[in-house]
């Protein structure tokens, strides 16, 4: 799942720490007051992405639980009728 994402985040942080002029230049280009604001912005966007993906997974699992519950109830009903 998210191991590739965390690897990319770690790699990005290493690159940012080595080449800090990238963050400074990019934050100036975007019109941000300080470079740390760019890091906060990227963090917020990344966390929002993770939350959206987790919400999709929760929705999928809720549907799966509902379907399995209905299937089990039908099987129990059929077993009870056959007794």
Highest mean pLDDT among 3-7, 42-46, 79-83: 42-46
Grade residue 83 by pLDDT with cuts at 50, 70 and 90. Answer: confident
Distance CA 79, CA 1 (A): 39
On whether the CB atoms of residues 30 and 42 are closer than 8 A, the answer is: no
Task: State the average pLDDT for the chain.
Answer: 91
Residue 59: per-residue pLDDT: 98
Q: Is residue 46 scored above 80 in pLDDT?
A: yes
Residue 1: per-residue pLDDT: 67
Measured N-to-C along each axis, helices 35-82 and 20-30 cross at an angle, to the nearest 10 degrees, of: 90
C-alpha dihedral (39, 44, 49, 50), degrees to nearest 10: 100
pTM above 0.75, yes or no: no
């Amino acid at each position: 799942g998210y191991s590739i994402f965390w690897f990319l985040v770690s790699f990005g942080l290493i690159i940012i720490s080595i080449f800090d002029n990238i963050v400074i230049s990019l934050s100036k280009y975007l019109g941000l007051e300080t470079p740390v604001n760019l890091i906060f912005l990227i963090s917020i966007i990344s966390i929002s992405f993770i939350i959206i993906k987790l919400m999709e997974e929760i929705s999928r699992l809720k549907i799966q639980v509902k379907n399995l519950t209905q299937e089990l109830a039908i099987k129990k009903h059929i077993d009870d009728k056959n007794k």
